[in-house]
Amino acid sequence: MNNTEIAKKVIEALGGRENVNSVAHCATRLRVMVKDEGKIDKNTVENLEKVQGAFFNSGQYQIIFGTGTVNKIYD
C-alpha cells in the first residue's frame, strides 16, 4: 500500500473527513483533533501498514508512523 492509500484508510478509520477538526504532525506522529472519539475505529488504525501505534493524549489522537514516514502520510 502506498502512502496516499494509507492516508485514505486513516481518514476512513477516523470516521471520515467530517469527524476531523484538524491534522498536524511532529517528527514521528500524526496528531489529529476529532469531533467524536467514538467514531474512530482504533483497531483498524492500529493495524494499518506503517502504523507503529496510536493513542489519545491531551485531546489529540496520535498515530505513530516514525521519522521520515509521518510527513509523507501527512502530505
Active site members = 26
Residue 44 Cα distances to 21, 47, 60, 68, angstroms? 20, 5, 17, 22
Inter-residue contact 25 to 33 (CB < 8 Å): no
DSSP 8-state secondary structure symbol assigned to residue 67: T
Report the C-alpha gap between 48 and 1 in whole angstroms.
10
